[in-house]
Amino acid sequence: MSSASADAMPAGAIRRMLPHHRAVAIVYASSMFMSVMDTQIVNVALPTMSHDFHVPISSVQWVVTAYLMSIAVCVPASGWLGDRFGSKRIYLVAVGSFTVASLLCAMSSNLTELVVTRVLQGAGGGMMVPVGMAMLYRAYPPDRRIGVARLITRVMVIAPATAPIIGGSLVTWGSWRWIFTINLPVGAAAMIFGAYFLSEHREARKGGFDLPGAILGGVGLGLLLYSVGSGPTLGWASPVVDATGLAAVAAITAFVVLELRLEYPLLNLHLLSNRLFRRCCAVIAFSSTSFFGSLVFTSLYLQAGRGLSAINSGLSTFPEAIAIGITSQFVARLFPRVGPRRLLASGFVGLAVTCGVLSRATLSTSLWEIRGLTFALGVSVAFIMLPSQASAFAQITSAETGHASAIFNTLQRALSSLGVAFLATVLALGGGDVVHRRPSISAFHWVFAANVALAAVGAALSLRIRDADAASAMHSRASGHDGPGGGPQPDPATAKVSGSS
């Protein structure tokens, strides 16, 4: 036997020990954690960056804005790039660029360098998550996706819940630069692991790259995030906010018209004619807005309103992650028997009730009561995110998964940003000085009351979802095999007919 064959045997044996679909889940969870954590943890370090760079806090906000705008520009193109050049290749390039950019962020000597490197980091993050999601849903058939959704939900909530604790500790006892260097070992491990265990996947595609669509979509989403992010601080009557907002609406409108007319668009927006996919996108957008809005403004209430440190605030909001871990096990078992409709509605009702109680919090409210309420937030969101994630792609074929993942992530990020900006505006109108972060306690009452309204809308949308549409995701298979391609797959023709409006 040749030495090459001898070397190949152990490698193949190792790969067989860890099937492709499980390898995809591991690397996706790692990249998802990095992306969500990085989005949340930077907020804790902004005051320290302002002090170290000798610039006002309003200028440092560009560290966050540039990152979000860069993500918005790259997400729409992720589906086409993954299908054209291979999902594994693009995914590894995205993780690598995100990791290298994290190192450059930590090495920045001034604010301009940090903003530029954050743009590079956002480019990696903008491709990393949607391409990883496409790989994940191609690897698992519909009836196995409730378990995948459980993994995704845990990562999505544990990262923002622990970010204030980790970020506060690093900034307090170390340097703000450490919040970027923690990405390095995770990113390096994800790249090595992915390069070895992931399998390549390409879709047969016709037509070239939709450059006009990429420009219109990227510019439109970027300007939209800038406008809604600046509105609460600069004022919605600000000429800059109004001009960028109008330009964003014009660019996005032109993008939608163009994509619907092209034979080979950057984003196949016709997928939104699928009833289940469209409604799950709307539900996940409202749930992300309501949940993350509650988490963000609960932390702000504790830190700015009550004077708690970032670490103490993080410890008070951390119970929601514990609740997710416990409740997700329960919801995963309920989903095949109950279906998404009632689970989603129950979760939104829980969010509305919890936010209603939070709207009565005062300076003297017990921290244990706040911890109990954040635990209730976690319970509620587990009833929403698991069913919506598992159901969204139930009628999406493998060839459509790249486009569907890009659409899903684009809508989630854009609508969540709009929602948080809306809540920040409510805070300002209620008497909160969001520029200097000194809002009054009464202002938070209005914020949580507004969140009740958002949760109520989410409940109404969830009641429009039909359990029958998600049947392929609800049915358990008879055998214990969980490999890719096993189990019943939705028939493309049936999916398009039954899922259309």
Nearest to residue 36, comparing CAs of 154, 191, 143? 154
Q: Please give the pLDDT value at position 16.
A: 60
Q: At what angle do helices 367-392 and 310-317 cross, to 10 degrees?
A: 60
How far, in Å, CA of 203 to CA of 393, rounded?
Answer: 17
Tens of pLDDT along 340-363?
A: 999 999 999 999 999 999 999 888
Instruction: Supply the pLDDT for residue 251.
Output: 92
Q: Which residues contact 36 (CB under 8 A, 6 or more apart)?
A: 155, 156, 159, 160
DSSP code string of 67-126:
HHHHHHHHHHHHHHHHHHH-HHHHHHHHHHHHHHHHHHHHH--SHHHHHHHHHHHHHHHH
pLDDT of residue 399: 79
Q: Are 327 and 386 in contact (CB under 8 A)?
A: no
Rounded to 10°, the helix 87-107/183-197 angle is 160
CA atoms within 13 A on the CB side of 215: 3
Which amino acid would we find at residue 482?
D
CA distance 127 to 280: 21
pLDDT at 363: 87
Q: Is the separation of the CB atoms in 130 and 75 below 8 Å?
A: yes
Question: Which stretches of the chain score pLDDT less than 70?
Answer: 1-17, 57-58, 61, 152-154, 156-157, 160-161, 204-207, 310, 431-439, 475-501
- Please report the beta strands in 108-201, taking only residues with DSSP state E, as ranges in sequence order: none
Q: What was the pLDDT predicted at 501?
A: 43
CA 289, CA 10: separation in Å to the nearest integer?
47
pLDDT of residue 100: 95
- Whole-number pLDDT of residue 435: 47
Instruction: Give me the pLDDT at residue 247, please.
Output: 94
**Cα gap 190→181, rounded to integer Å:** 15
The count of residues in the chain is 501
**pLDDT for position 345:** 94
Query: How far apart are alpha carbons 32 and 289 in whole angstroms?
Result: 18
State the pLDDT at residue 494.
34
